Structure 1
Amino acid sequence: MFEVQDNGGKKVVFVKGEVNAQTGSELKKGILDLFNSSSCVVVSFKGVVYMNSSGLREIIDLLKSVNKLKKELKLCEMSADIREMFTFTGLDKVFKIYDTQAQALG
């Protein structure tokens, strides 16, 4: 479902497969746990083949929780379809979204 790498104190989460209500909930919980040891988490959507509105809702809930913690969440490497979902809903103005992992880490 997802894999985590440490990159100079920042955690990079590589999401794989589908992001829906069930997987999104697991992803949210896993990422929130990472904030116990890191102030910034970068989430790569490179391996995501599909995300529905329930998955998107979990990502939104994740951002709300991260903002309460006063930590930083960055998203990167989205497919055109997923990026369009964020743009269409106006969430591209709410989330920090980067084209590449290097830009998100920079």
Structure 2
Amino acid sequence: MDQQVQVIKLSGIINTANSQDVRENITHLLKSGTKIVLVDCEDVTFMDSSALGALVLAFKTLRASGTKLFLCSINEQVRILFELTGMDKVFEIFKSQDEFNQVILARN
């Protein structure tokens, strides 16, 4: 695979207090020439709407520069948040990093 993939692993509670840091950490990857960003939410215990907003802003910033953003390993609470807001139709969400790797490798 010739595209560079960077994985950002989130953990704990993602809310107003730290969502800005999450967005900055993701968009900072643009400077490294990353073409694909995978946000692994396996260890996230809670996510609120400000965290979702930060992910949407990061998604838009990355997309504008030709970088793709994917999510994986979201728990039930996060999945419901994405479904209620319709963001499950915007983000491509994988069950695990393994599933992400299988699908992305198959595309290339």
TM range (shorter): 0.7 to 0.9
| Structure 1 residues 25-64: aligned runs within 5 Å | 25-37=20-32, 38-64=34-60
Deviation at 1:21, TM superposition (A): 2.1
Deviation at 1:94, TM superposition (A): 0.4
Larger Rg: 2
CA RMSD in angstroms, aligned pairs only: 1.4
From the two aligned structures, give the one with the greater helix fraction: 2
Which AA in structure 1 matches 2:66?
K
Q: What TM-score, normalized by structure 1, do the two folds share?
A: 0.86
Paired-residue identity, %: 27
Give 5+ residue unaligned stretches, structure 1. Answer: 1-7
Determine which of 79, 94, 101 is the counterpart of 1:98: 94
Give 5+ residue unaligned stretches, structure 2. Answer: 103-108
From the two aligned structures, give the one with the greater strand fraction: 1
What corresponds to 1:70 in structure 2? 66
Please list every run of at least 4 consecutive aligned residues from structure 1 whose deviation after the TM superposition is greater than 6 angstroms.
none
Mapped to 2, the partners of 1:83 and 1:35 lie a distance apart of 27
Say whether the 8 Å CA contact 1:45–1:75 is kept in structure 2. yes
